[in-house]
Amino acid sequence: MSNLDPHAAIVVSDLVKSFGERRALDGISLEVRRGELFCLLGPNGGGKSTLFRILATLSLPDSGSAVIAGHDVMTDAPSVRARLGVVFQSPSLDGKLTILENLRCGGALYGLRGAELESRIRDAATALNLSDRLSDLVETLSGGLQRRAEIAKCLLIRPDVLLLDEPSTGLDPGARLDLWAALEDLRTKHGVTVLCTTHLMEEAARADRVGIVSAGKLVAIGTPEELTSALGGDVISLGVAKEIGADLLSKRITEKTGLPASVVEGEVRLESREAYNLAARIAGDFPGEISSLRIARPTLEDVFVARTGRLFADEHLEPDSRPAPKKKRH
């Protein structure tokens, strides 16, 4: 792909990956720039973890390529691994050890020792605001602190790129905010490129850029502002009285207003830069045919709806890939 920036931290070109009949990735191309906090947003089952595992050199695509910090994940996995920190959805720390002991073990696995290891541990603990918690047993820490300790472990190799798969899973809203502040810091103060997957809109809205995936395809990419302002204004959602039906009402509204009204999950939706005036007009023009009316600033969810024609909800989940019941998903 000649139009992709050769200095990008991550370049993904036309990746395809199937599991039997199911195409988990259906030709995804995207690029993450150096020093960017990039969020891959998609519903459960959209293909995020499949892409994550390929980037983390844990799984091979059927076709296409992915290059991280100049190294191809398929032909040069060791060089990729040397530049990459990876935080998985499931915890990887030993709860019976302290943070410091976990970091020492992690560092030893990377071949670090002595004064060099201790200095890197200090740096990583400082970056994640953990310096005064190093002697705490991991199992006694809150979920948010545990996640930060995991990220600290990844930083020991001083990676160019940090990959995180749904890092806020199971965290309460306060811990999520802390985690995001830590990721923003890593990007700003330490120049680390961060690629993070999520199914939470509010989280993705804080990223520098967002790639939205659905059914293994990239359906939108850009800054959150670019994506939402590309919509035609505020979003009007109309509940429909049973008698008329959503299809007929949307057709009549389109005829009357000249604006494309669509039907999403039984509601009629349209976008307008004059949403309040327009909504009042529609309510007056179709008395008795509208059961509810909502006007909202466009969100990334609306971008998803506009690009896919579907609400943001779980996609194609196999029973064995559903989230484990004991893990809290928001």
Name the site residues for ligand ADP (rule: CB under 6 A).
Answer: 19, 22, 24, 42, 44-50, 316-318, 321
At 113, phi and psi to the nearest 5?
Answer: -155, 175
Compare residues 105 and 313 and give the one whose CB is closer to ligand ADP. Answer: 313
Compare residues 109 and 313 and give the one whose CB is closer to ligand ADP. Answer: 313
Q: Shortest Cβ distance from residue 53 to ligand ADP (Å)?
A: 8
CA 300/CA 324 separation, integer angstroms: 26
Asked whether the beta carbons of 204 and 39 are under 8 A apart, the reply is yes
Asked whether the beta carbons of 146 and 80 are under 8 A apart, the reply is no
Q: Which of 49, 102, 168, 250 binds Mg ion (CB under 5 A)?
A: 49
Compare residues 22 and 251 and give the one whose CB is closer to ligand ADP. Answer: 22
Compare residues 230 and 313 and give the one whose CB is closer to ligand ADP. Answer: 313
Residue 254 binds which entry of ligand ADP, Mg ion, none, with Cβ cut-offs from 5 to 8 Å by kind?
A: none
Residue with CB nearest Mg ion? Answer: 49
Compare residues 46 and 224 and give the one whose CB is closer to ligand ADP. Answer: 46
Is 250 a binding residue for Mg ion by CB under 5 A? The answer is no
Asked whether the beta carbons of 1 and 29 are under 8 A apart, the reply is yes
Q: Per CB under 5 A, which region of 41-49, 63-71, 103-111, 181-189 contacts Mg ion?
A: 41-49
Alpha-helical regions (H) of 48-207: 48-55, 77-83, 99-109, 114-127, 143-155, 173-190, 201-204
Residue 33 binds which entry of Mg ion, ligand ADP, none, with Cβ cut-offs from 5 to 8 Å by kind?
A: none
Helix, strand, coil shares of the chain, percent, nearest 5, are 35, 25, 35
For the sheet containing 234-240, what is the strand order?
262-264, 267-272, 234-240, 290-296
- What residues contact 40, with CB distance under 8 A and at least 6 apart? 48, 51, 52, 195, 196, 197, 198, 210, 211, 213
Q: Shortest Cβ distance from residue 49 to Mg ion (Å)?
A: 3
CA 105/CA 80 separation, integer angstroms: 21
Q: Shortest Cβ distance from residue 163 to Mg ion (Å)?
A: 12
Q: Shortest Cβ distance from residue 126 to Mg ion (Å)?
A: 31
Residue with tokens 């999403």: 264
Q: Shortest Cβ distance from residue 139 to Mg ion (Å)?
A: 25
Give buried/exposed letters for 110-127 (b at 16+ CB in 10 A, else e): bebeeeebeebbeebbeb
- What residues contact 2, with CB distance under 8 A and at least 6 apart? none
Q: Shortest Cβ distance from residue 312 to ligand ADP (Å)?
A: 12
- What residues contact 7, with CB distance under 8 A and at least 6 apart? 33, 34
Q: Shortest Cβ distance from residue 32 to ligand ADP (Å)?
A: 17
Compare residues 45 and 107 and give the one whose CB is closer to Mg ion. Answer: 45
Residue 120 binds which entry of ligand ADP, Mg ion, none, with Cβ cut-offs from 5 to 8 Å by kind?
A: none
Q: Shortest Cβ distance from residue 55 to Mg ion (Å)?
A: 13
Residue 167 binds which entry of Mg ion, ligand ADP, none, with Cβ cut-offs from 5 to 8 Å by kind?
A: none
Compare residues 41 and 261 and give the one whose CB is closer to Mg ion. Answer: 41
Compare residues 91 and 233 and give the one whose CB is closer to ligand ADP. Answer: 91
Which residues contact Mg ion (rule: CB under 5 A)? 48-49
